[in-house]
Amino acid sequence: MGRLRNMVASAAVVAVTLGAVAGMVSAQSAVVPGGVISLRGTPHLWVADNDGVLHWAGDTRALAGRDVKWSTQRDVDLGELTTMRRGSPWLSSGLLKIADPIYLVKWESNQAAPTLLHIQSIKDVELFGINGDNYGEFVVDPAKWDAKFGITSTALPRGVMVSATGPVAPTPTATATPIPAPAAFSDALRLNRNPRLQADGELYFTVPSDWTEGYDFADARQANVEPMASTNRLGGWRATPSDKPSPIYVYIGATNLDWHKDARTPEDFSRKAAAHYCRTSTGGQCTQVSGAMLVTFAGQSALRFETRSVIEYTGTDGNGQPVGRRHEWSAYHYFFIRGNWGYEFRVFGETPETFASRAQPVMDVLSGTRFF
C-alpha cells in the first residue's frame, strides 16, 4: 500500500510539472520573432529575437535597425512574463552605477542627450535580464561610461524609473508623523473640497493676456482631451496664437481619488492617467509613453511623463467628400497628489519635431502656479 501511495504521489508531481511546462511553452509559443510584449500597467517593453527570446528594450535607440513587429504587441502580467524566455537587455547606452543606485541611461532617438533613470530594486534589474554572468557587460561606473561616450554622466538629468516588479516599500522613519495643530485643520478642509483655479481657490495662476480660453479644434477627434472619470477640468487654454503653425495647448485637471482607490501614490495616479490618455485616443493609438521623471513643478514634487499619440480618422471636405486625416500629438504631463485630489498639468501640441522648443516657454509660465 505504501508503495502504491508513493507511485500515485510521483505521478501527481509529474503531472503538475508537465502542466507547468506546458503552460510555459504555450505562453512562449505566442511570441513571434520581432513580437512585442508589454508589462501591464507599466511602460516596460520586451521584444523577441529570431529565436523567440525576449529582450527588455531600454530605449528607441536600442531598437534601431531591429525587426520590431509593433502590430503584435500584447499586454501580460508579471506572473506570465516570468514564465517566458528572457535574455539580456537591448540597451543603447548601458546601465550606470553611481555609488549604490543603478541607472538606466535612457537615450531616445529624438534626444540630444540621455537621461538617467534610477532602477528601483534589484528585482527590477533581474527581470530586465541582468545576472551574474552579464553584469560586467552592461553595468559600468561613471569614469568608464564617460570615456566611452564623451559625456559627463554625473551632470545628466535624473529621474525615477517606473518599477516593473511592484512598488518599493518606503524607508521607515524613527519618529511618528506628528498630529497637525488645530490651526492646520482649515488647510486640510481646503485640500479636500472641490479644487478651484482662482484667487481664493486651492490653485492660483495668472493667465497670460495672450492665452485664449478653451480649445479651438475644428474636430474634437483631433486630440484626446477627455479626462479620467471624476475629474474636474480646472482650466484649458490655447497658449500660442492660432495664426502660428501648430499651437501649444494647456490643460489643468483635478481627479477625485475617492473614486480611484488604486491611485493613492503619485506614481500610481500618473500611470493610470497616462494609460487613460493613450487608450482613449479616438481612432488612433498611443505610440510612446516615457518613464516617469521626478521633478519640481508648480512648487510641488511631481512625476513627469511624455506621450506621443497618433490620431487617425476619416472626415469630410467642404463638398462633403470623405478625407482621411492624421494627427500626431506630443504632450508633457505633470502629476502630483494633494489631499484626496490628483492633479494633472498637461502641455500638448502637434509637430513633434519642434514641440519641445515651442512648449518650454509655456511650461515655464505654467510652473508659476501655486497651491494654497
Least confident residue range of 164-168, 252-256, 293-297: 164-168
Q: Examine the pLDDT at 160 and tell me if it is beyond 70.
A: yes
Q: Which amino acid is at 285?
A: Q
**Is residue 331 within 8 Å of residue 306, measured between CB atoms?**
yes
- 166/160: higher pLDDT: 160
CA–CA gap between residue 32 and residue 54 (Å, rounded): 10
First-to-last C-alpha distance (Å) of the chain: 77
Domains of the chain in start order, with CATH, are 30-160 (no CATH), 183-371 (3.40.1000)
Percent of the chain scoring above 90 in pLDDT: 26
In the chain, which ranges are continuous DSSP H helix?
A: 2-29, 78-82, 122-127, 135-138, 142-149, 185-192, 266-279, 352-366
In 85-134, which ranges are continuous DSSP H helix?
A: 122-127
The three grid cell numbers given for residue 24, joined into one nine-digit string = 510555459
In 128-236, which ranges are continuous DSSP H helix?
A: 135-138, 142-149, 185-192
**Is residue 317 within 8 Å of residue 346, measured between CB atoms?**
no
Least confident residue range of 20-34, 73-87, 259-273, 312-326: 20-34
Q: What does the pLDDT read at residue 293?
A: 79
Q: What does the pLDDT read at residue 4?
A: 33
- Of 79, 83, 120, nearest to 103 by C-alpha is 120
CA–CA gap between residue 250 and residue 363 (Å, rounded): 9
Least confident residue range of 99-108, 208-217, 352-361: 208-217
Least confident residue range of 31-35, 71-75, 96-100: 96-100
Q: Give me the mean pLDDT over the 288-300 stretch.
A: 76
The three grid cell numbers given for residue 297, joined into one nine-digit string = 513643478
- Of 243, 103, 199, nearest to 160 by C-alpha is 103
Helix (H, G, I), strand (E, B) or coil at 212: strand
Q: Which amino acid is at 124?
A: D
CA–CA gap between residue 42 and residue 275 (Å, rounded): 9
Judged on CB neighbours under 10 Å (0-12, 13-18, 19+), 207 is: middle
For the chain, the average pLDDT equals 77
Q: What does the pLDDT read at residue 286?
A: 58
The three grid cell numbers given for residue 43, joined into one nine-digit string = 511602460
Query: Cβ–Cβ contacts within 10 Å for residue 32, how many?
Result: 12
